[in-house]
Structure 1
Amino acid sequence: MTFLKPVLKSILLTLLIAFTASLNAQTHSKNGMVVSSDKSSSAVGAAILKKGGNAIDAAIATAFSLAVTHPSAGNIGGGGFIVFMNSEGKTTTIDFREKAPLSATNDMYLDQEGKLIDGINHFSAKAIGVPGTVAGLFLAHEKYGKLPWKDLLQPAIDQAKNGFAFNWSLYNAANYFTKEGNTNPFMDSYFRNESGGVTQPDEIWKQTELAETLIRIRDKGRDGFYKGKTAKMIASFMKKNDGIITKKDLAKYEAIERQPIKGSYKGYDIYSMPPPSSGGVALVEMMNLMELADLKTMEFNSSEHLHLVAEAMRRAFADRAEHLGDPDFNLNIPLDKLTSKEFAKKRFQGIDMTRASVSDSTKYGRLYDGENTTHLSTMDKDGNAVSLTYTLEYSFGSQMGSKELGFIFNNEMGDFNPQPGITKSNGQIGTAPNLVEPEKRMLSSMTPTIVGKNGKPYLVIGSPGGRTIINTVFQTVLNVLEFEMPVNKAIEALKIHHQWLPDQIVYEKYLLSPDTKKSLEAKGHTLKERNNMGALMGITYDPEKKIFTGASDSSQPDSGAVGY
C-alpha cells in the first residue's frame, strides 16, 4: 500500500489540474467581451455593450456593479487606474488613485521615538486615503463614454436595492466577520440579512444604504459623492473615528488623464499604467530584459527559465523602490531610462545564469503591496478596449465604513513608505519618492495593460495581488506573446514572484516540480510556497476571424467572461 501513495497522489493532482482547466474554459464572442471577478457583474457590462455602449461604458457599469457584488475589492471607497485604447490604436490612461489627506504628514504613523506604530497605517481611520473611484469613472465617461451616465449606474442600483443571490465566497467572508469574539461592529453587521441573521448562500442579499449612495452618484455625477450629503456623512464618520479626511479633501479630489507607459516586444506594442503606478515601468523593463534572452533554448518553466524570470523581477523591483512615486511630487523620475532598450542591455549583462544575485537594501538597483484588488477587461465590437484595475488595498480594505453609506473604505495609506529612510530586508521601504505628503498619491503595483498588434488592441489583461500584480501580469503577457499560449492557458500557468526584498522566490504550490525547486535552490535562491498568485482577467482578439476570447482565473470561483 505504501508504494501506491505517490501514484494516488499523482492521479489526484492530475484530476485537480484537469478540473481547474475546466473551470478556466475560454468564452468566445463576435460582438464584444467583459471579464471580471463576478460573472453577474460581467453580465451587466455585456448588457451595456448590447445596448450600444462602448468598452468604457461597459467598464464603468461593471465597476459599479462589482462595488455591490464583490465588496472585498470592488468599490466606490477606493481607487485605481484605467488604460484605454480606442479602435484606431490611440491609447491613454486615467489615474484615480487615492490621495493622502491635506493634514497628512510623513511621521503620522510613528511614535515619539520615531518607530512605526504597529497596524496604524493599515487598520485605523488614518489608513484611509481620499477615495478616487467615482471621480475616475466619471472622468472616463465624460471624455470617452457613449451612453448616458444614469444608464451605467442603474444596474448596480438595482442589484443593491433589489438584492442578488448571496454566493459562497461572500458567505465565507460573512462567517469570518461574524464569528464569536469579532470586535468589528461594522463588518459584523455588514453581511446580516433583514432579520439580523447571517445571510445564507443563495439567499437574496440587499444593500439599501449602498443603493441610496449610488442613486446620489447617478443623479449628481461626481458631486453626488464628493459634495453634498455623501461628503458630509464621510467627513462626519472620519471625525468620529479619528480619521483626517475632511469635506475639503473630498471637494478637492480630481482624477487625472496621463500618457501611458509604452514598450515593445518582438513587434507587439505594450501600453500600461505610468506612475503613481509602478506596474507599467516594471513590466516594460522586464519585457525588455526577456527580449534579450534566447528563450527558445530554454524549456518553459525550467529552472533556467525561472531563474532568468526571477532575476528580471529582482532588478525591476529594485529600480521601483529607488525611483518611483507620485510624478506630481517627483519631477525627475527617469521613466525614459528605466523603460529603454539600452538600460535593459546594461541590466542584462549583470545576470549570471548559474547563480542568484543578492538583494542588498543599501544599494537598490545599482547592484542589478495588501493584496485584494480586482480587475476587469472589456472590448466592444468596434475594437475599443479597456483594462481597469481598482482596489481597497487589503481584502475589505480598512474594514471600516458607515452603515448610513453602505460601502467600505480603503486602507491605501499603507502603500506609502511609513518610516522615512528605513529600508529593511523584510520588504519595508523608506525611500523619499513614496513618503507621505498632503495630496500625494501613494505608489501602486496595479498593472492594467493593453497589448497592441498592428496598431489595434490584441490582449487586454490585469490582475489583483498587491506587489505580485506586476509579476503575474508580466508572466501572462510573456506567455501569450513569446510562447503563443491561448489566454486561458497563459492565465493558469505557474507564476512566481520576486520583489527584490525580501530576497526570495514565491511560487504557486503544486505547480512547481520538486526537481525544479531543488535546481533553483542550488543556484542560491530561497523559495517560499503559496496557494496561488493573482486572479487574472483577460481578453484576446483575433482580427482575421473577428473573434473575442475571454478567460478568468479559476482561483476566483465567482468570476467569469461574458460576451454577446
Structure 2
Amino acid sequence: MSCFRKAVAFGVTGIMAVSAGAAPQKHAMVVSIHHDASDAGLEILKQGGNAVDAAVAVGFALSVVLPQAGNLGGGGFMLIRDHNGEAHFLDFREKAPAGATPNMYLDQAGNIIPGLSTRGYLAIGVPGSVAGFAYAQKHYGKLTLAQDMAPAIKLAKMGYTLSEEEARALHSTNLTKFPESHRIFQRDGDYYKTGDTFVQPELAKTLQRLAANPQEFYTGPMAKQLADTVHTHGGLLTEADLAAYTVADRKPLVGHYSTGGQKYDVVTSPPPSSGGIVLLEVLNMLSGYDLPKLGGDRSEAQMHIITEAFRRAYMDRGDYLGDPDYTVLPLAQMGNERYASAWRKTIDPVKPTPSAELRRPAGFMPPPPAVTPVKESTQTTHFSVVDSDGNAVSTTYTLNGLFGCGATAEGLGFLLNNEMDDFSSKPGSPNMFGLIQGPANAIAPGHRPLSSMTPTIVTAASKHGKPGELRLVLGSPGGSTIITTVINDLLSILVNGLSVQAAADAPRFHHQYLPDVLDVEKAFPVPVVEELRAAGYKVSRANEADEKNPGVWGDSELIEVNPKTGALEGGHDNRRKFGKVASY
C-alpha cells in the first residue's frame, strides 16, 4: 500500500546509554525473556538452523519455562524478513469457536457478567500457536520440526531451575482455582520455591507427540482429548473448531521514514494486529516535528507531542479495527499522510487536548460506529532472532491473561488461553485491560480478535530495487501498552540516539485515548511528571502506592545491527531478571 510509504523526518541527538548490553556479535543473536529459551534458539542456530528454526525453538521452549505467557494453548504473530528483503507475517491468532455468539458474556439485562470472558473454559478461543510454529518451520525453516523442538522437550522432561521471581509467579490464585493447574504448577499447595527444579512430564509427552505430528493438536486423539476436556467443563471448543483452524500468511505493512539524513523502511504488523497501522499513523503525525529540538529523550516537550499522537491514533484504533477477513478496514485512510497532517494541525504545541473534546478531521475516514468508546492483557511475550545470513524474525505470542484462563488441558500439561476477552463483549465497554472496542471487533464464530501485538523490523530504505540492510528487530508484550512501547523504543534508538540496551531499559509512557490518562512507569523521573501535570495532563505513575510493586510494564527484547560495524547488539529488558541475550 503506497500510502504507508511516507517519509517521516526526524532530527538526531546523542543520549548517553544508561546500561551496557551484551557484547556486539558478528554472527547470530537471540533475545528473549528467559535464558533457557534464548539458549534453545542459539543451540538451533549453531546446529545450522536459520532464524525461523531458532524462533520455533524459542517459542516451544517458552511454552515450558514461561507458563504465564509462553504457550501451546494460545496464539500470536511471527514477522519474518529474509536477507533478500522478502517479508511474511504469520497470523496464528486464536479464533472464536463456532458456538460463540455476540452476547455470550452478557446477562439478561445486557450487562457484562464479570469474569466470564476472562476465567475458565468459556473464555477459550481456538489455539493457534502449534499450527503457527509448525507452519513457520515447514515453509521457512531449514531443519526439521523435531530438531527445533528438541530443546523444549528436554526442558520439560529434565526440568529447569526456578528463580525467585518465577517461583513467586506460580503462586498465582488464577491457577489455584483449577485442580489440574493446582496439581501441576503448585504441587497441590506445596508451592515451588526458589532453586527448585520444575519438571513437567505430561507436557514433555505432549511435545514429543507434536514433534512427530503437529497436526495431532488439531485432528486425531490429542484434539479429541482437548475438546472433551473443554466440553466437560462447559466451554465451547470442539474437535470441529480445531480441525478448521488455519494459519494466515499475510502481507506485512510497510512504512518509510527518515531521520538525520538516514531513510528507513518499517516492516510491521497488519490486522488483526492493530499495532502496525497505529505505529505508522503515529510516525506520520510526528513527521512534522523535529523532536530532538524540543528536548532530549523523555523530556516533557517531546513527550507532549508524542502523547498527543498516541491519543489520536488510539481513537482510530478503537473505532475502526477488527478481523480483516470479515471486516473492511480503512487502513489506506489511517495511513494517509494528508490525514496525519490534518490530525497534526489539531495538536496544541504546549497543551493536551482532552480526549472528550477530540474531533476527527473531516473528509478522510468513513463514519465511525455509533458507540461510545470505552484494556488487553499484559501476559504476552516477545522474542527477536537474527541469524548469520541476516534473516530476522520478530515474534509476539500470548495466552492473554496471566496463565490464560487458568485451566490446564487435562493429561496434556499446557494452559489454555482466555483470548475471547480480546473481542468486544459489549461494544462501547472496556475489556479486562481498559481498551476501547468497537463493533468491528465483536464476537463472531471463526473471527480472530483484535490485538495490540506489534512485532516490527526496521531496515535501511531499499534502493534501486535492492533490499536495505537490517537495522532493528523489536516488539514487546504489555497489552494496550505494546504499541507505545515499540514506538518508545524505535524513537529512542533512531531519533534520540540511545543504545539498544538503554532503549530497552528506559522508563515508558503510554496514552490510549480513553481513559484520558497519561500512564508512566513508577521509575519515571518525578520532575518530568510534575512538568506534564503542570501542562494539564492527568498523569498516573504505575502502582505508585504499592511499595512492593516495581510499577513496570512491557518487555523489550531488541536486536540492533550497528550501521557502522555490522555487529549485532542485543538489548534484554532488565525489568525481567531471568531473560538473556544469547549470541555467538
TM-score, normalised via structure 1 length:
0.91
- Show the counterpart of 1:187: 181
Q: 1:539 aligns with which of 559, 573, 576?
A: 559
- Show the counterpart of 1:324: 321
- Show the counterpart of 2:206: 213
- Show the counterpart of 2:389: 382
Q: 1:109 aligns with which of 91, 105, 109?
A: 105
Distance 1:192 1:421, change over 3 A: closer
Q: Give the superposition deviation at 1:90.
A: 1.7
1:255 and 2:251 are equivalent in the alignment: no
- Show the counterpart of 2:465: none
Q: Could you tell me how far apart the structure 2 residues matched to 1:421 and 1:279 are? A: 20
3-state DSSP class of the match of 1:41?
helix
1:297 and 2:317 are equivalent in the alignment: no
Q: Give the superposition deviation at 1:112.
A: 0.8
Contact 2:507 2:523 in 1 (8 A): no
Once structures 1 and 2 are overlaid, which stretch shifts more, 51-60 or 260-269? 260-269
Distance 1:134 1:170, change over 3 A: same
Q: 2:536 aligns with which of 517, 524, 543?
A: 524
- Show the counterpart of 1:56: 52
3-state DSSP class of the match of 2:383?
strand
- Show the counterpart of 2:148: 152
Q: Give the superposition deviation at 1:118.
A: 0.9
For residue 207 of structure 1, what is the amino acid of its counterpart? Q
Distance 1:375 1:27, change over 3 A: farther
1:474 and 2:483 are equivalent in the alignment: no
Distance 1:185 1:83, change over 3 A: same
Q: 2:507 aligns with which of 475, 478, 494?
A: 494
Q: Could you tell me how far apart the structure 1 residues matched to 2:361 and 2:513 are? A: 9
1:306 and 2:326 are equivalent in the alignment: no
Q: Give the superposition deviation at 1:423.
A: 7.1
3-state DSSP class of the match of 1:473?
helix
1:415 and 2:409 are equivalent in the alignment: no
3-state DSSP class of the match of 2:502?
helix
- Show the counterpart of 1:508: 521
- Show the counterpart of 1:553: 573
Q: Could you tell me how far apart the structure 1 residues matched to 2:254 and 2:556 are? A: 21
- Show the counterpart of 1:29: 25
- Show the counterpart of 1:372: 379
Q: Give the superposition deviation at 1:101.
A: 0.3
Q: Give the superposition deviation at 1:272.
A: 0.8
1:284 and 2:277 are equivalent in the alignment: no
Distance 1:272 1:190, change over 3 A: same
Q: 1:352 aligns with which of 326, 348, 351?
A: 348
Q: Could you tell me how far apart the structure 1 residues matched to 2:47 and 2:357 are? A: 53
Q: Could you tell me how far apart the structure 2 residues matched to 1:423 and 1:21 are? A: 37
Q: Could you tell me how far apart the structure 1 residues matched to 2:312 and 2:361 are? A: 6
Q: Give the superposition deviation at 1:241.
A: 1.1
Q: Could you tell me how far apart the structure 2 residues matched to 1:188 and 1:231 are? A: 23
Q: Could you tell me how far apart the structure 1 residues matched to 2:150 and 2:315 are? A: 44
Contact 1:370 1:465 in 2 (8 A): yes
Q: Could you tell me how far apart the structure 2 residues matched to 1:459 and 1:240 are? A: 46
Q: Deviations over 1:485-514 (max 9, x none)?
A: 210111112210000010000001122333
Q: Give the superposition deviation at 1:32.
A: 0.2
3-state DSSP class of the match of 2:318?
helix
- Show the counterpart of 1:11: none
Unmatched segments (≥5 aa) in structure 1 = 1-17
1:246 and 2:246 are equivalent in the alignment: no
1:198 and 2:194 are equivalent in the alignment: no
For residue 506 of structure 1, what is the amino acid of its counterpart? D
Overall identity of the aligned pairs, in %: 39
Q: 1:170 aligns with which of 166, 178, 201?
A: 166
Q: Could you tell me how far apart the structure 1 residues matched to 2:503 and 2:405 are? A: 33
3-state DSSP class of the match of 1:94?
strand
1:399 and 2:419 are equivalent in the alignment: no
3-state DSSP class of the match of 1:28?
coil
Contact 2:474 2:556 in 1 (8 A): yes
For residue 475 of structure 1, what is the amino acid of its counterpart? N
Q: Deviations over 1:520-542 (max 9, x none)?
A: 22322111111112110000113
Contact 1:401 1:408 in 2 (8 A): yes
3-state DSSP class of the match of 1:489?
helix
Distance 1:299 1:142, change over 3 A: same
1:237 and 2:229 are equivalent in the alignment: yes
Distance 1:349 1:364, change over 3 A: closer
Q: Give the superposition deviation at 1:169.
A: 2.1
Q: Could you tell me how far apart the structure 1 residues matched to 2:100 and 2:279 are? A: 31
- Show the counterpart of 1:121: 117
For residue 263 of structure 1, what is the amino acid of its counterpart? G
Contact 1:370 1:394 in 2 (8 A): yes
Distance 1:364 1:468, change over 3 A: farther
For residue 525 of structure 1, what is the amino acid of its counterpart? Y
Q: Deviations over 1:242-278 (max 9, x none)?
A: 1000000000000101111111220111011100000
Q: Could you tell me how far apart the structure 1 residues matched to 2:166 and 2:410 are? A: 18
Question: Map of 1:259-278 to 2, 5 A cutoff?
Answer: 259-266=251-258, 267-278=263-274
Q: Could you tell me how far apart the structure 1 residues matched to 2:242 and 2:271 are? A: 22
Q: Give the superposition deviation at 1:102.
A: 0.4
- Show the counterpart of 1:6: none
Q: Deviations over 1:434-453 (max 9, x none)?
A: 00000000000001000011
3-state DSSP class of the match of 1:389?
strand
For residue 534 of structure 2, what is the amino acid of its counterpart? A
Q: Give the superposition deviation at 1:89.
A: 1.6
Q: Could you tell me how far apart the structure 2 residues matched to 1:86 and 1:212 are? A: 33
1:81 and 2:77 are equivalent in the alignment: yes
Q: 1:142 aligns with which of 138, 147, 166?
A: 138
Distance 1:518 1:341, change over 3 A: same
Q: Could you tell me how far apart the structure 1 residues matched to 2:97 and 2:457 are? A: 32
Q: Deviations over 1:24-70 (max 9, x none)?
A: 63342221000001011101101111111100000000110000011
Q: Could you tell me how far apart the structure 1 residues matched to 2:414 and 2:361 are? A: 40
For residue 500 of structure 1, what is the amino acid of its counterpart? Y
Distance 1:153 1:502, change over 3 A: same
Q: Could you tell me how far apart the structure 2 residues matched to 1:533 and 1:483 are? A: 21
Q: 2:452 aligns with which of 436, 442, 445?
A: 445
Q: Could you tell me how far apart the structure 2 residues matched to 1:178 and 1:506 are? A: 26
Q: Could you tell me how far apart the structure 1 residues matched to 2:361 and 2:582 are? A: 42
Once structures 1 and 2 are overlaid, which stretch shifts more, 368-377 or 260-269? 368-377
For residue 255 of structure 1, what is the amino acid of its counterpart? V
Contact 1:361 1:501 in 2 (8 A): no
Once structures 1 and 2 are overlaid, which stretch shifts more, 65-74 or 136-145? 136-145
Contact 1:319 1:365 in 2 (8 A): no
How many residues matched?
A: 538
Q: Could you tell me how far apart the structure 2 residues matched to 1:114 and 1:362 are? A: 29
Distance 1:49 1:228, change over 3 A: same
3-state DSSP class of the match of 2:231?
helix
Q: Give the superposition deviation at 1:387.
A: 0.2
Q: Give the superposition deviation at 1:196.
A: 7.7
Q: Give the superposition deviation at 1:173.
A: 1.8
Q: Could you tell me how far apart the structure 1 residues matched to 2:199 and 2:169 are? A: 16
Q: Could you tell me how far apart the structure 2 residues matched to 1:21 and 1:191 are? A: 37
